[in-house]
Structure 1
Amino acid sequence: MQNKVFKDYLFITIGILLVAIAVEYLYAPNNLAAGGVTGLAIVINHYIPFASTGTLVLIMNIILFIIAFIFIGGNFGAKTIYASFGLSLIMWIIERFFYPQALTHDLIIAAIFGTFLSAIGMAIVFNANASTGGTDIIAKILNKFFHVDIGKSLSSVDFIVTLLAAITFGLNAGLYALLSVILNGIAIDRVIEGFNTSKQLTIISSKNKEIGQFIMNGLGRGCTFLKGVGGYTGKETFIIYTVVSRAEFIKLREYIKSIDSKAFITVGEAHEVLGEGFKEISNT
Protein backbone atom coordinates (compact mmCIF):
# COMPACT_ATOMS: atom_id res chain seq x y z
CA MET A 1 0.00 0.00 0.00
CA GLN A 2 2.82 2.41 0.92
CA ASN A 3 4.59 1.61 -2.35
CA LYS A 4 1.38 2.41 -4.26
CA VAL A 5 1.01 5.77 -2.48
CA PHE A 6 4.69 6.63 -3.07
CA LYS A 7 4.38 5.64 -6.73
CA ASP A 8 1.26 7.81 -7.18
CA TYR A 9 2.91 10.88 -5.66
CA LEU A 10 6.07 10.27 -7.70
CA PHE A 11 4.03 10.19 -10.92
CA ILE A 12 2.06 13.27 -9.87
CA THR A 13 5.35 15.10 -9.31
CA ILE A 14 6.60 14.09 -12.77
CA GLY A 15 3.28 15.16 -14.28
CA ILE A 16 3.20 18.64 -12.71
CA LEU A 17 6.88 19.12 -13.62
CA LEU A 18 6.02 18.54 -17.30
CA VAL A 19 3.08 20.97 -17.07
CA ALA A 20 5.31 23.59 -15.40
CA ILE A 21 7.95 23.24 -18.15
CA ALA A 22 5.28 23.64 -20.83
CA VAL A 23 3.94 26.80 -19.18
CA GLU A 24 7.27 28.41 -18.32
CA TYR A 25 9.24 27.61 -21.49
CA LEU A 26 6.58 27.50 -24.20
CA TYR A 27 3.26 29.10 -23.17
CA ALA A 28 4.13 32.08 -20.95
CA PRO A 29 7.08 33.49 -22.98
CA ASN A 30 4.87 33.44 -26.11
CA ASN A 31 1.75 34.83 -24.39
CA LEU A 32 -0.19 31.61 -25.05
CA ALA A 33 -2.85 31.55 -22.33
CA ALA A 34 -4.04 28.01 -23.04
CA GLY A 35 -6.95 27.92 -20.62
CA GLY A 36 -7.15 27.11 -16.94
CA VAL A 37 -5.66 28.94 -13.98
CA THR A 38 -2.18 28.94 -15.55
CA GLY A 39 -3.58 30.63 -18.67
CA LEU A 40 -5.37 33.22 -16.55
CA ALA A 41 -2.13 33.82 -14.63
CA ILE A 42 -0.31 34.51 -17.93
CA VAL A 43 -2.94 37.15 -18.81
CA ILE A 44 -2.81 38.78 -15.35
CA ASN A 45 1.02 38.76 -15.39
CA HIS A 46 0.87 41.00 -18.47
CA TYR A 47 -0.89 43.70 -16.43
CA ILE A 48 1.04 43.23 -13.18
CA PRO A 49 4.46 41.94 -14.32
CA PHE A 50 6.00 42.21 -10.84
CA ALA A 51 3.89 39.16 -9.83
CA SER A 52 5.30 35.98 -11.37
CA THR A 53 3.09 33.44 -13.09
CA GLY A 54 3.85 30.81 -10.44
CA THR A 55 2.94 33.21 -7.63
CA LEU A 56 -0.33 34.16 -9.34
CA VAL A 57 -1.26 30.50 -9.81
CA LEU A 58 -0.57 29.88 -6.12
CA ILE A 59 -2.68 32.87 -5.01
CA MET A 60 -5.59 31.94 -7.29
CA ASN A 61 -5.52 28.31 -6.16
CA ILE A 62 -5.58 29.35 -2.51
CA ILE A 63 -8.55 31.66 -3.16
CA LEU A 64 -10.37 28.98 -5.15
CA PHE A 65 -9.78 26.31 -2.51
CA ILE A 66 -11.10 28.64 0.21
CA ILE A 67 -14.21 29.45 -1.89
CA ALA A 68 -14.71 25.76 -2.63
CA PHE A 69 -14.39 24.81 1.05
CA ILE A 70 -17.06 27.37 1.91
CA PHE A 71 -19.55 26.69 -0.88
CA ILE A 72 -19.06 23.11 -2.09
CA GLY A 73 -17.25 21.37 0.77
CA GLY A 74 -13.68 20.15 1.11
CA ASN A 75 -13.82 16.82 -0.71
CA PHE A 76 -10.72 17.31 -2.87
CA GLY A 77 -8.33 14.65 -1.64
CA ALA A 78 -4.69 14.99 -0.62
CA LYS A 79 -3.43 14.19 -4.12
CA THR A 80 -5.30 17.08 -5.74
CA ILE A 81 -4.10 19.52 -3.07
CA TYR A 82 -0.53 18.23 -3.52
CA ALA A 83 -0.73 18.51 -7.33
CA SER A 84 -2.30 21.97 -7.23
CA PHE A 85 0.16 23.60 -4.84
CA GLY A 86 3.07 21.49 -6.13
CA LEU A 87 2.56 22.92 -9.62
CA SER A 88 2.63 26.46 -8.23
CA LEU A 89 5.81 25.71 -6.27
CA ILE A 90 7.64 24.19 -9.23
CA MET A 91 6.68 27.16 -11.43
CA TRP A 92 7.94 29.56 -8.74
CA ILE A 93 11.26 27.66 -8.44
CA ILE A 94 11.75 27.75 -12.24
CA GLU A 95 11.06 31.50 -12.33
CA ARG A 96 13.15 32.27 -9.24
CA PHE A 97 16.26 30.24 -10.02
CA PHE A 98 16.26 29.30 -13.72
CA TYR A 99 15.04 32.52 -15.39
CA PRO A 100 13.09 30.73 -18.14
CA GLN A 101 13.33 31.86 -21.74
CA ALA A 102 11.19 30.77 -24.68
CA LEU A 103 12.46 27.60 -26.31
CA THR A 104 10.94 28.89 -29.56
CA HIS A 105 9.18 32.05 -30.68
CA ASP A 106 7.29 30.23 -33.44
CA LEU A 107 3.72 30.24 -32.10
CA ILE A 108 2.58 27.08 -33.83
CA ILE A 109 5.61 25.11 -32.60
CA ALA A 110 5.13 26.51 -29.09
CA ALA A 111 1.41 25.61 -29.19
CA ILE A 112 2.01 22.06 -30.46
CA PHE A 113 4.91 21.14 -28.19
CA GLY A 114 3.42 23.00 -25.22
CA THR A 115 0.22 21.02 -25.68
CA PHE A 116 2.20 17.80 -26.09
CA LEU A 117 4.13 18.29 -22.83
CA SER A 118 1.13 19.62 -20.92
CA ALA A 119 -1.15 16.81 -22.08
CA ILE A 120 1.31 14.11 -21.04
CA GLY A 121 1.78 15.79 -17.66
CA MET A 122 -1.95 16.24 -17.04
CA ALA A 123 -2.67 12.67 -18.16
CA ILE A 124 -0.09 11.36 -15.67
CA VAL A 125 -1.73 13.41 -12.90
CA PHE A 126 -5.25 12.30 -13.86
CA ASN A 127 -4.11 8.68 -14.10
CA ALA A 128 -2.98 8.89 -10.46
CA ASN A 129 -6.54 9.96 -9.51
CA ALA A 130 -5.62 13.60 -8.92
CA SER A 131 -6.03 16.94 -10.68
CA THR A 132 -4.32 20.31 -10.51
CA GLY A 133 -7.37 21.98 -8.96
CA GLY A 134 -7.95 25.43 -10.43
CA THR A 135 -10.27 25.04 -13.39
CA ASP A 136 -11.94 21.97 -11.85
CA ILE A 137 -12.95 24.03 -8.82
CA ILE A 138 -14.41 26.81 -10.99
CA ALA A 139 -16.34 24.19 -12.98
CA LYS A 140 -17.76 22.64 -9.80
CA ILE A 141 -18.87 26.06 -8.53
CA LEU A 142 -20.60 26.84 -11.85
CA ASN A 143 -22.21 23.41 -11.76
CA LYS A 144 -23.57 23.87 -8.25
CA PHE A 145 -24.94 27.39 -8.55
CA PHE A 146 -25.84 27.63 -12.25
CA HIS A 147 -26.50 23.91 -12.97
CA VAL A 148 -24.06 23.87 -15.89
CA ASP A 149 -22.58 20.45 -16.73
CA ILE A 150 -19.00 19.97 -15.52
CA GLY A 151 -17.71 19.40 -19.07
CA LYS A 152 -19.43 22.51 -20.38
CA SER A 153 -18.20 24.47 -17.35
CA LEU A 154 -14.60 23.49 -18.05
CA SER A 155 -14.95 24.43 -21.72
CA SER A 156 -16.59 27.75 -20.80
CA VAL A 157 -13.78 28.68 -18.39
CA ASP A 158 -11.11 27.83 -20.96
CA PHE A 159 -12.97 29.79 -23.65
CA ILE A 160 -13.19 32.87 -21.39
CA VAL A 161 -9.44 32.62 -20.65
CA THR A 162 -8.57 32.40 -24.36
CA LEU A 163 -10.93 35.34 -25.05
CA LEU A 164 -9.06 37.38 -22.45
CA ALA A 165 -5.82 36.27 -24.09
CA ALA A 166 -7.08 37.53 -27.47
CA ILE A 167 -8.02 40.89 -25.93
CA THR A 168 -4.68 41.16 -24.11
CA PHE A 169 -2.19 39.74 -26.60
CA GLY A 170 -4.06 40.03 -29.89
CA LEU A 171 -6.28 37.77 -31.98
CA ASN A 172 -3.35 35.75 -33.33
CA ALA A 173 -2.13 34.68 -29.86
CA GLY A 174 -5.73 34.13 -28.74
CA LEU A 175 -6.45 31.74 -31.61
CA TYR A 176 -3.26 29.77 -30.98
CA ALA A 177 -4.23 29.55 -27.30
CA LEU A 178 -7.68 28.25 -28.30
CA LEU A 179 -6.01 25.69 -30.58
CA SER A 180 -3.90 24.53 -27.64
CA VAL A 181 -7.01 24.16 -25.46
CA ILE A 182 -8.78 22.04 -28.10
CA LEU A 183 -5.75 19.84 -28.79
CA ASN A 184 -4.98 19.48 -25.09
CA GLY A 185 -8.33 17.86 -24.28
CA ILE A 186 -7.98 15.39 -27.17
CA ALA A 187 -4.34 14.61 -26.36
CA ILE A 188 -5.02 13.99 -22.64
CA ASP A 189 -7.70 11.41 -23.53
CA ARG A 190 -5.37 9.64 -25.96
CA VAL A 191 -2.46 9.54 -23.50
CA ILE A 192 -4.64 8.21 -20.66
CA GLU A 193 -5.98 5.51 -23.00
CA GLY A 194 -2.38 4.58 -23.80
CA PHE A 195 -1.53 4.24 -20.10
CA ASN A 196 -4.50 2.01 -19.39
CA THR A 197 -4.67 -0.07 -22.56
CA SER A 198 -4.68 -3.82 -21.99
CA LYS A 199 -5.13 -6.81 -24.29
CA GLN A 200 -8.33 -8.85 -24.12
CA LEU A 201 -8.03 -12.34 -25.59
CA THR A 202 -10.31 -15.18 -26.54
CA ILE A 203 -8.44 -18.45 -27.04
CA ILE A 204 -9.68 -21.73 -28.53
CA SER A 205 -7.22 -24.58 -28.07
CA SER A 206 -7.09 -28.28 -27.36
CA LYS A 207 -4.62 -27.34 -24.62
CA ASN A 208 -7.05 -25.05 -22.83
CA LYS A 209 -6.28 -26.47 -19.37
CA GLU A 210 -2.54 -25.92 -19.73
CA ILE A 211 -3.09 -22.41 -21.10
CA GLY A 212 -5.48 -21.59 -18.26
CA GLN A 213 -2.92 -22.78 -15.70
CA PHE A 214 -0.20 -20.67 -17.33
CA ILE A 215 -2.42 -17.57 -17.25
CA MET A 216 -3.24 -18.04 -13.55
CA ASN A 217 0.09 -19.37 -12.26
CA GLY A 218 2.61 -18.05 -14.77
CA LEU A 219 1.15 -14.59 -15.29
CA GLY A 220 -0.84 -14.18 -12.08
CA ARG A 221 -3.96 -13.22 -14.01
CA GLY A 222 -7.49 -14.60 -13.96
CA CYS A 223 -9.32 -16.21 -16.83
CA THR A 224 -12.80 -17.50 -17.61
CA PHE A 225 -13.73 -20.74 -19.38
CA LEU A 226 -16.77 -20.44 -21.65
CA LYS A 227 -18.48 -23.49 -23.12
CA GLY A 228 -18.73 -23.49 -26.89
CA VAL A 229 -19.54 -25.76 -29.82
CA GLY A 230 -17.46 -25.83 -32.99
CA GLY A 231 -19.56 -24.72 -35.95
CA TYR A 232 -17.71 -27.01 -38.37
CA THR A 233 -16.91 -30.00 -36.14
CA GLY A 234 -19.97 -29.87 -33.89
CA LYS A 235 -17.73 -30.80 -30.95
CA GLU A 236 -17.96 -29.15 -27.56
CA THR A 237 -14.98 -27.10 -26.52
CA PHE A 238 -13.90 -24.45 -24.03
CA ILE A 239 -13.12 -20.86 -24.94
CA ILE A 240 -10.71 -19.00 -22.65
CA TYR A 241 -11.35 -15.31 -22.03
CA THR A 242 -8.70 -13.21 -20.29
CA VAL A 243 -7.33 -9.67 -20.04
CA VAL A 244 -3.59 -9.11 -19.70
CA SER A 245 -1.03 -6.32 -20.08
CA ARG A 246 0.95 -5.86 -23.28
CA ALA A 247 4.06 -7.52 -21.83
CA GLU A 248 2.00 -10.42 -20.49
CA PHE A 249 0.33 -10.86 -23.87
CA ILE A 250 3.72 -11.42 -25.51
CA LYS A 251 4.62 -14.09 -22.93
CA LEU A 252 1.21 -15.76 -23.31
CA ARG A 253 1.42 -15.74 -27.11
CA GLU A 254 4.86 -17.38 -27.03
CA TYR A 255 3.65 -20.01 -24.56
CA ILE A 256 0.61 -20.89 -26.67
CA LYS A 257 2.80 -21.08 -29.77
CA SER A 258 5.10 -23.56 -27.98
CA ILE A 259 2.35 -25.99 -26.94
CA ASP A 260 -0.34 -25.61 -29.62
CA SER A 261 0.59 -24.08 -32.94
CA LYS A 262 -2.99 -24.63 -34.19
CA ALA A 263 -4.64 -22.59 -31.42
CA PHE A 264 -7.10 -19.89 -32.49
CA ILE A 265 -6.63 -16.51 -30.77
CA THR A 266 -8.42 -13.20 -31.17
CA VAL A 267 -6.89 -10.08 -29.63
CA GLY A 268 -8.59 -6.77 -28.90
CA GLU A 269 -7.66 -3.63 -27.01
CA ALA A 270 -9.41 -2.70 -23.76
CA HIS A 271 -8.88 1.00 -23.04
CA GLU A 272 -9.82 0.68 -19.39
CA VAL A 273 -10.00 -2.36 -17.13
CA LEU A 274 -11.45 -2.23 -13.64
CA GLY A 275 -11.32 -4.92 -11.01
CA GLU A 276 -8.93 -7.36 -9.39
CA GLY A 277 -5.39 -7.12 -10.71
CA PHE A 278 -6.08 -3.85 -12.50
CA LYS A 279 -7.40 -0.46 -11.40
CA GLU A 280 -9.68 -0.70 -8.39
CA ILE A 281 -13.29 0.24 -9.08
CA SER A 282 -13.40 2.25 -5.84
CA ASN A 283 -10.63 4.54 -7.15
CA THR A 284 -12.52 5.62 -10.27
Structure 2
Amino acid sequence: MKKRIKIITGSLLIAISYNIFFLSYDIIPNGIYGIASLINYVNNYDPALFLLMANVCLIILAYITLGPIKYKNYLLPGILIPLFIYIMNYFHLTVSFENLESITVVIAGSFITGLGYSLIYKAGDSVGGLDIIQDVLDSATTNKNKIVSYLVESIILLGTLLILGFESMLYSLIVILIIRYTATKSKIGISTSKMFYIITTKENEVKNYIMNELKHDLTEFNIKGGFSKNKSKIIMTSMDTKNYYELKEGVLLIDPKAFISITDGYEVINKNLSINKQDKNV
Protein backbone atom coordinates (compact mmCIF):
# COMPACT_ATOMS: atom_id res chain seq x y z
CA MET A 1 0.00 0.00 0.00
CA LYS A 2 2.81 2.42 0.90
CA LYS A 3 4.51 1.62 -2.38
CA ARG A 4 1.42 2.55 -4.39
CA ILE A 5 0.95 5.76 -2.42
CA LYS A 6 4.53 6.76 -3.26
CA ILE A 7 4.01 5.96 -6.94
CA ILE A 8 0.71 7.83 -7.15
CA THR A 9 2.10 10.84 -5.28
CA GLY A 10 5.27 10.88 -7.37
CA SER A 11 3.30 10.61 -10.61
CA LEU A 12 1.00 13.42 -9.51
CA LEU A 13 3.94 15.69 -8.65
CA ILE A 14 5.53 15.07 -12.06
CA ALA A 15 2.22 15.82 -13.78
CA ILE A 16 1.65 18.99 -11.74
CA SER A 17 5.15 20.24 -12.46
CA TYR A 18 4.90 19.40 -16.16
CA ASN A 19 1.53 21.06 -16.61
CA ILE A 20 1.88 24.11 -14.37
CA PHE A 21 5.57 24.95 -14.61
CA PHE A 22 6.81 23.53 -17.90
CA LEU A 23 3.97 23.30 -20.40
CA SER A 24 2.35 26.59 -19.42
CA TYR A 25 5.60 28.54 -19.76
CA ASP A 26 7.16 26.83 -22.79
CA ILE A 27 9.92 25.29 -20.69
CA ILE A 28 11.17 22.06 -22.22
CA PRO A 29 11.97 19.35 -19.63
CA ASN A 30 14.02 16.19 -19.99
CA GLY A 31 13.41 12.85 -21.65
CA ILE A 32 10.19 11.84 -23.30
CA TYR A 33 8.43 14.78 -21.62
CA GLY A 34 10.69 17.17 -23.49
CA ILE A 35 9.87 15.45 -26.78
CA ALA A 36 6.16 15.73 -25.99
CA SER A 37 6.56 19.44 -25.23
CA LEU A 38 8.40 20.15 -28.49
CA ILE A 39 5.78 18.28 -30.51
CA ASN A 40 3.04 20.19 -28.70
CA TYR A 41 4.75 23.50 -29.40
CA VAL A 42 5.21 22.76 -33.11
CA ASN A 43 1.80 21.31 -34.02
CA ASN A 44 -0.28 21.61 -30.83
CA TYR A 45 -0.51 17.83 -30.41
CA ASP A 46 -1.81 16.77 -26.98
CA PRO A 47 1.30 15.90 -24.90
CA ALA A 48 -0.67 13.62 -22.57
CA LEU A 49 -1.86 11.53 -25.52
CA PHE A 50 1.66 11.36 -26.96
CA LEU A 51 3.10 10.32 -23.59
CA LEU A 52 0.44 7.67 -23.10
CA MET A 53 0.95 6.13 -26.54
CA ALA A 54 4.74 6.24 -26.22
CA ASN A 55 4.70 4.68 -22.76
CA VAL A 56 2.27 1.94 -23.79
CA CYS A 57 4.51 1.02 -26.73
CA LEU A 58 7.61 1.06 -24.53
CA ILE A 59 5.91 -0.98 -21.79
CA ILE A 60 5.03 -3.61 -24.40
CA LEU A 61 8.67 -3.55 -25.49
CA ALA A 62 9.73 -4.03 -21.87
CA TYR A 63 7.36 -6.97 -21.50
CA ILE A 64 8.84 -8.65 -24.57
CA THR A 65 12.50 -7.98 -23.82
CA LEU A 66 12.71 -7.76 -20.03
CA GLY A 67 10.02 -10.24 -19.06
CA PRO A 68 6.65 -10.24 -17.29
CA ILE A 69 8.10 -9.30 -13.90
CA LYS A 70 10.40 -6.41 -14.76
CA TYR A 71 7.89 -4.64 -17.00
CA LYS A 72 5.57 -4.10 -14.03
CA ASN A 73 8.03 -1.53 -12.69
CA TYR A 74 7.05 0.80 -15.54
CA LEU A 75 3.34 0.04 -15.74
CA LEU A 76 1.73 2.21 -13.07
CA PRO A 77 3.84 5.40 -13.46
CA GLY A 78 3.79 5.05 -17.26
CA ILE A 79 -0.01 5.19 -17.24
CA LEU A 80 -0.63 7.51 -14.29
CA ILE A 81 1.62 10.39 -15.33
CA PRO A 82 -0.01 10.95 -18.76
CA LEU A 83 -3.43 10.43 -17.17
CA PHE A 84 -2.81 13.09 -14.53
CA ILE A 85 -1.47 15.48 -17.18
CA TYR A 86 -4.58 14.89 -19.30
CA ILE A 87 -6.94 15.49 -16.36
CA MET A 88 -5.21 18.73 -15.45
CA ASN A 89 -5.32 19.93 -19.05
CA TYR A 90 -8.97 18.90 -19.40
CA PHE A 91 -10.00 20.97 -16.40
CA HIS A 92 -7.58 23.76 -17.36
CA LEU A 93 -5.78 23.57 -14.04
CA THR A 94 -3.15 26.28 -14.40
CA VAL A 95 -1.47 28.69 -12.02
CA SER A 96 -0.16 32.12 -12.95
CA PHE A 97 3.40 33.04 -11.96
CA GLU A 98 3.51 36.44 -13.64
CA ASN A 99 5.32 38.02 -10.71
CA LEU A 100 8.04 35.39 -10.61
CA GLU A 101 11.25 35.34 -12.60
CA SER A 102 11.48 32.60 -15.22
CA ILE A 103 14.48 31.06 -13.49
CA THR A 104 12.41 30.69 -10.30
CA VAL A 105 9.71 28.84 -12.20
CA VAL A 106 12.37 26.63 -13.80
CA ILE A 107 14.00 25.72 -10.49
CA ALA A 108 10.69 25.13 -8.70
CA GLY A 109 9.38 22.90 -11.49
CA SER A 110 12.64 20.97 -11.66
CA PHE A 111 12.76 20.22 -7.95
CA ILE A 112 9.10 19.20 -7.81
CA THR A 113 9.70 16.88 -10.76
CA GLY A 114 12.82 15.54 -9.08
CA LEU A 115 10.82 14.88 -5.92
CA GLY A 116 8.29 12.95 -7.98
CA TYR A 117 11.08 10.89 -9.56
CA SER A 118 12.52 10.26 -6.11
CA LEU A 119 9.25 8.88 -4.72
CA ILE A 120 8.79 6.56 -7.69
CA TYR A 121 12.38 5.30 -7.58
CA LYS A 122 12.20 4.72 -3.83
CA ALA A 123 9.08 2.64 -4.41
CA GLY A 124 11.17 0.44 -6.69
CA ASP A 125 9.48 1.55 -9.91
CA SER A 126 10.53 3.66 -12.88
CA VAL A 127 8.98 6.66 -14.62
CA GLY A 128 8.94 4.85 -17.96
CA GLY A 129 9.89 6.60 -21.16
CA LEU A 130 13.63 6.65 -21.75
CA ASP A 131 14.22 4.56 -18.63
CA ILE A 132 12.66 1.63 -20.47
CA ILE A 133 14.84 2.09 -23.54
CA GLN A 134 17.93 2.39 -21.36
CA ASP A 135 17.06 -0.75 -19.38
CA VAL A 136 16.38 -2.70 -22.57
CA LEU A 137 19.77 -1.70 -23.96
CA ASP A 138 21.50 -2.46 -20.65
CA SER A 139 19.98 -5.94 -20.62
CA ALA A 140 21.37 -6.62 -24.09
CA THR A 141 24.96 -5.55 -23.43
CA THR A 142 27.54 -5.63 -20.67
CA ASN A 143 28.70 -2.13 -21.60
CA LYS A 144 26.20 -0.08 -19.62
CA ASN A 145 26.12 3.65 -20.32
CA LYS A 146 23.64 6.50 -20.58
CA ILE A 147 24.10 7.13 -24.28
CA VAL A 148 20.34 7.10 -24.96
CA SER A 149 19.63 9.73 -22.32
CA TYR A 150 22.52 11.91 -23.47
CA LEU A 151 21.50 11.60 -27.12
CA VAL A 152 17.84 12.45 -26.50
CA GLU A 153 18.70 15.33 -24.18
CA SER A 154 21.09 16.70 -26.80
CA ILE A 155 18.32 16.51 -29.39
CA ILE A 156 15.92 18.24 -26.99
CA LEU A 157 18.40 21.05 -26.34
CA LEU A 158 19.07 21.48 -30.05
CA GLY A 159 15.36 21.46 -30.85
CA THR A 160 14.68 23.98 -28.09
CA LEU A 161 17.43 26.22 -29.43
CA LEU A 162 16.06 26.12 -32.98
CA ILE A 163 12.39 26.46 -32.05
CA LEU A 164 12.33 28.61 -28.91
CA GLY A 165 15.71 30.30 -28.85
CA PHE A 166 18.87 30.42 -26.78
CA GLU A 167 17.30 31.54 -23.50
CA SER A 168 14.78 28.69 -23.51
CA MET A 169 17.59 26.27 -24.30
CA LEU A 170 19.48 27.44 -21.21
CA TYR A 171 16.37 26.98 -19.08
CA SER A 172 15.93 23.50 -20.52
CA LEU A 173 19.55 22.67 -19.68
CA ILE A 174 19.00 23.79 -16.08
CA VAL A 175 15.88 21.62 -15.85
CA ILE A 176 17.73 18.58 -17.20
CA LEU A 177 20.65 19.01 -14.81
CA ILE A 178 18.50 19.53 -11.70
CA ILE A 179 16.20 16.60 -12.46
CA ARG A 180 19.13 14.32 -13.27
CA TYR A 181 20.91 15.31 -10.05
CA THR A 182 17.79 14.79 -7.93
CA ALA A 183 16.96 11.48 -9.58
CA THR A 184 20.52 10.20 -9.14
CA LYS A 185 20.58 11.16 -5.49
CA SER A 186 17.26 9.42 -4.94
CA LYS A 187 18.69 6.20 -6.39
CA ILE A 188 22.03 6.06 -4.60
CA GLY A 189 21.08 8.11 -1.57
CA ILE A 190 22.73 11.07 0.08
CA SER A 191 25.98 10.37 1.82
CA THR A 192 25.44 10.38 5.58
CA SER A 193 28.80 8.90 6.51
CA LYS A 194 32.44 9.10 5.49
CA MET A 195 34.78 6.13 5.27
CA PHE A 196 38.32 6.94 6.41
CA TYR A 197 41.37 4.92 5.37
CA ILE A 198 44.42 6.04 7.33
CA ILE A 199 48.09 5.07 7.12
CA THR A 200 50.20 6.60 9.87
CA THR A 201 53.45 6.08 11.73
CA LYS A 202 51.64 7.02 14.94
CA GLU A 203 49.21 4.17 14.81
CA ASN A 204 48.53 3.81 18.54
CA GLU A 205 47.87 7.52 19.05
CA VAL A 206 45.46 7.65 16.12
CA LYS A 207 43.63 4.52 17.27
CA ASN A 208 43.36 5.90 20.77
CA TYR A 209 41.95 9.17 19.42
CA ILE A 210 39.32 7.39 17.30
CA MET A 211 38.20 4.89 19.93
CA ASN A 212 38.51 6.87 23.16
CA GLU A 213 38.01 10.48 22.09
CA LEU A 214 35.54 10.08 19.23
CA LYS A 215 34.00 6.83 20.50
CA HIS A 216 34.13 5.12 17.12
CA ASP A 217 35.07 1.58 16.22
CA LEU A 218 37.77 0.80 13.68
CA THR A 219 39.27 -2.01 11.65
CA GLU A 220 42.91 -2.64 10.74
CA PHE A 221 44.27 -4.19 7.55
CA ASN A 222 47.79 -5.46 7.01
CA ILE A 223 49.22 -4.01 3.80
CA LYS A 224 52.47 -3.87 1.85
CA GLY A 225 53.61 -0.87 -0.17
CA GLY A 226 53.50 -1.46 -3.90
CA PHE A 227 56.72 0.45 -4.52
CA SER A 228 58.60 0.36 -1.22
CA LYS A 229 57.43 -3.17 -0.26
CA ASN A 230 57.31 -1.93 3.34
CA LYS A 231 54.70 -3.56 5.55
CA SER A 232 52.21 -1.33 7.29
CA LYS A 233 48.58 -1.13 8.38
CA ILE A 234 45.50 0.73 7.21
CA ILE A 235 43.08 1.97 9.84
CA MET A 236 39.52 1.99 8.52
CA THR A 237 36.64 3.67 10.31
CA SER A 238 33.24 5.12 9.50
CA MET A 239 32.33 8.59 10.71
CA ASP A 240 29.12 10.60 10.47
CA THR A 241 29.46 13.35 7.89
CA LYS A 242 28.92 16.01 10.55
CA ASN A 243 32.05 14.74 12.35
CA TYR A 244 34.11 14.62 9.16
CA TYR A 245 36.43 17.52 9.98
CA GLU A 246 36.84 16.49 13.60
CA LEU A 247 38.44 13.19 12.62
CA LYS A 248 40.43 14.53 9.69
CA GLU A 249 41.93 17.45 11.58
CA GLY A 250 42.47 15.33 14.69
CA VAL A 251 44.51 12.75 12.76
CA LEU A 252 46.56 15.46 11.05
CA LEU A 253 47.33 17.06 14.42
CA ILE A 254 48.64 13.72 15.65
CA ASP A 255 50.54 12.94 12.46
CA PRO A 256 50.80 15.73 9.85
CA LYS A 257 52.31 13.24 7.39
CA ALA A 258 49.51 10.69 7.72
CA PHE A 259 47.97 9.35 4.51
CA ILE A 260 44.18 9.79 4.62
CA SER A 261 41.71 8.63 1.99
CA ILE A 262 38.07 9.62 2.50
CA THR A 263 35.09 8.24 0.58
CA ASP A 264 31.32 8.64 0.83
CA GLY A 265 29.38 6.04 2.78
CA TYR A 266 25.71 5.90 1.81
CA GLU A 267 24.69 3.40 4.44
CA VAL A 268 26.48 1.93 7.44
CA ILE A 269 24.86 -0.99 9.25
CA ASN A 270 25.74 -2.06 12.80
CA LYS A 271 28.19 0.78 13.27
CA ASN A 272 30.31 0.84 16.45
CA LEU A 273 29.11 -2.54 17.73
CA SER A 274 32.33 -3.19 19.66
CA ILE A 275 32.37 0.26 21.26
CA ASN A 276 28.71 -0.01 22.25
CA LYS A 277 29.23 -3.45 23.80
CA GLN A 278 32.23 -2.19 25.72
CA ASP A 279 30.27 0.79 27.07
CA LYS A 280 27.48 -1.50 28.26
CA ASN A 281 29.92 -3.74 30.08
CA VAL A 282 31.56 -0.85 31.91
Answer whether TM exceeds 0.5 for this pair: yes
Residue 179 of structure 1 corresponds to 174
Matches within 5 A, 1:1-284: 6-49=1-44, 51-70=45-64, 76-104=70-98, 106-140=101-135, 149-191=144-186, 197=192, 204=211, 271-273=265-267
Greater shift, 57-66 or 186-195, is seen at 186-195
Give the Cα separation in 1 of the matches to 2:194 and 2:72: 32
1:143 to 1:188, Cα distance in 2 relative to 1, 3 A: closer
TM-score when scaled to structure 2? 0.63
Deviation at 1:53, TM superposition (A): 2.0
Are the counterparts in 1 of residues 62 and 71 from structure 2 also a CA contact under 8 Å? no
Deviations for 1:249-279, whole angstroms, at most 9, x for unmatched residues? xxxxxxxxxxxxxxxxxxx997533889xxx
Give the Cα separation in 2 of the matches to 1:156 and 1:36: 10
Are the counterparts in 2 of residues 159 and 178 from structure 1 also a CA contact under 8 Å? no
Are the counterparts in 2 of residues 26 and 114 from structure 1 also a CA contact under 8 Å? yes
Are the counterparts in 2 of residues 194 and 271 from structure 1 also a CA contact under 8 Å? no
- Paired amino acid for 2:127: T
Q: Secondary structure at the match of 1:184?
A: helix
RMSD of Structure 2 on Structure 1 (CA): 4.0
Deviations for 1:126-181, whole angstroms, at most 9, x for unmatched residues? 12221111011233456678997432321221221222222222222122102211
1:271 to 1:127, Cα distance in 2 relative to 1, 3 A: farther
1:77 to 1:197, Cα distance in 2 relative to 1, 3 A: farther
- Paired amino acid for 2:133: I
Structure 1 alignment gaps of length 5 or more: 1-5, 209-223, 228-240, 247-267, 277-284
1:71 to 1:163, Cα distance in 2 relative to 1, 3 A: farther
1:146 to 1:29, Cα distance in 2 relative to 1, 3 A: farther
- Paired amino acid for 1:175: L
Deviation at 1:122, TM superposition (A): 0.8
Deviations for 1:44-80, whole angstroms, at most 9, x for unmatched residues? 112332x422222111111222344455655534232
Deviations for 1:81-135, whole angstroms, at most 9, x for unmatched residues? 1111111111111111243245357331222111111111111211222111101
Are the counterparts in 2 of residues 64 and 134 from structure 1 also a CA contact under 8 Å? yes
1:197 to 1:15, Cα distance in 2 relative to 1, 3 A: farther
- Paired amino acid for 1:90: F
Are the counterparts in 1 of residues 63 and 71 from structure 2 also a CA contact under 8 Å? no
Are the counterparts in 2 of residues 65 and 137 from structure 1 also a CA contact under 8 Å? yes
Count of aligned pairs = 226
TM-score when scaled to structure 1? 0.63
Residue 3 of structure 1 corresponds to none
1:141 to 1:172, Cα distance in 2 relative to 1, 3 A: farther
Q: Quick one: percent identity of the two aligned structures?
A: 22
1:99 to 1:225, Cα distance in 2 relative to 1, 3 A: closer
Are the counterparts in 2 of residues 35 and 177 from structure 1 also a CA contact under 8 Å? yes
- Paired amino acid for 2:54: M
